Chains A and B, each alone.
Chain A
């Protein structure tokens, strides 16, 4: 196998249908970038899930004067009710920790957390957030048992499971993830068809050469290798472009978002580079296999 000859053939092939090659590279780049985004979202969702599930609490809000719950009857929860509730909670086997948070504590925590958005702080007054028990569960999935045993007890207004709120967040994240993967899959199909077309054009352009090669007894690998490598190189360039896109989106989008919003876990360069490697390999493999399959139909012995 003479490398120089093969490289020369690849160069001729790529140059002869430059427009096709460019469109192929772009398609592969977009497909791989979306594929990588999907993978990154998946990683992100998983790691923030773990992070949040450790911190999940069930909040039991107690009756306040403004409560709309009829069983509160517009009265504050009594100290005796609070004590009874606390001991009942502590007795439950699913509960690992119970904390009492008064109105004042809740208000100052709220002020603290939203200190960067003054509009939020101004619209809330002390007493808007009622007294509550924050209950940490041994297993966040056991939420139902706890809420059932507490709901309807005197002095209880409502029980809020943070998991429910997070679920919505994760559903959105999951939706984004599958959207990215679906678009990536469509792009992959487009890329495969485009590789097929490009290689077919390339083979047609060089039918004289390949005809003579067959005639003088060049082996199939020798005839097909330039075409397959042509596809693979286009795939590689596309993959590298996808990597650049991913790096940019990490720097400009994710990191900037993370500095504004308090993200559960940061997307590290480690996972980004892993995804990049996977995306490039996948791009190259995809194109090589697609051109091989096209050639099998096109360059018969």
Chain B
């Protein structure tokens, strides 16, 4: 069936084109949790282009984590639509969600490594569980371990590594499947400022390969130093969206 093209037809096509170009697109998204009066996100409109590096800033409880969880379809919006890679997540059936997540890498403040596996095994785990063959794993994992700067530490256990090194392992695991998007939820939150710079260099390196990076952070120094796009959330609303921005004067 062909939909009649009204006067709004050309406008709709324009929006569609923009959505196609954007790798992540929040279309008037509101997200409320049960038993909470104030929604975690309210009428959020953000489009993130392919290859962009975006800082998501704002105080605790401003909705940064909800923003990231919506991209992963760990939550669904109460209103509005989230598009990832041109696909509306609300139309994505549950059994296809794993395929979405294979194209998104994730890094967290608390690293989330498996304590009983060494560096190589931790990174390889991400490929094993999506059924990649052994030969491929043996080829790719050392490359990524080198990329994040852990040469020669493949057989260390996580508790033998420093916090910065553990986060590098987590980044390697997130990136080993060459995702389209890398989400980082306060990746430097548990790490001292000097080591954080090293982590940021790794993320920047990953961004240069064409991967879109979305990083939620509290770290003003890093945001100010990098001069990338900054989206600021406050009480679930976007209060600032600046390319080449800083953390903000208020802090």
Contact = CB atoms under 8 A, between A and B. Distances in A.
Contacts of B112: 208, 211-212, 215
B55 to A, nearest CB: 22
Contact of B131 (A2, A214, A301): A2
A282 interface: no
B126 A212 contact: yes
B227 interface: no
Nearest to A219: B98
Given A2-B131, A208-B112, A220 B98 contact: yes
Interface string A190-222: 000000000000000000110111111111101
B48 to A, nearest CB: 20
B163 to A, nearest CB: 18
Interface of A: 1-2, 5, 208-209, 211-220, 222-223, 301
A212 B114 contact: yes
A211 B131 CA distance: 17
Interface stretch (B100-108, B140-148, B238-246): B100-108
Contacts of A209: 114, 125
B95 A213 contact: no
B114 A213 contact: no
Interface of B: 72-73, 94-95, 97-106, 112, 114, 125-126, 128-131, 133-134, 173-174, 177
A15 to B, nearest CB: 13
Given A2-B128, A5-B129, A212-B125, A218 B98 contact: yes
B131 A213 contact: no
11 contacts: A5-B129, A211-B112, A212-B126, A214-B101, A216-B173, A217-B98, A217-B99, A217-B103, A222-B129, A301-B97, A301-B98
Contacts of B126: 212, 216
B98 to A, nearest CB: 4
Contact of B101 (A1, A2, A216): A216
B128 A217 contact: no
Contact of A218 (B94, B103, B129): B129
Nearest to B122: A212
A212 B97 CA distance: 14
B131 A216 contact: no
B116 to A, nearest CB: 9
Given A208-B112, A208-B114, A209-B114, A215 B106 contact: yes
A12 to B, nearest CB: 9
A212 B133 CA distance: 19
Contacts of B105: 216
A219 B105 CA distance: 16
B114 A5 contact: no
Nearest to A218: B129
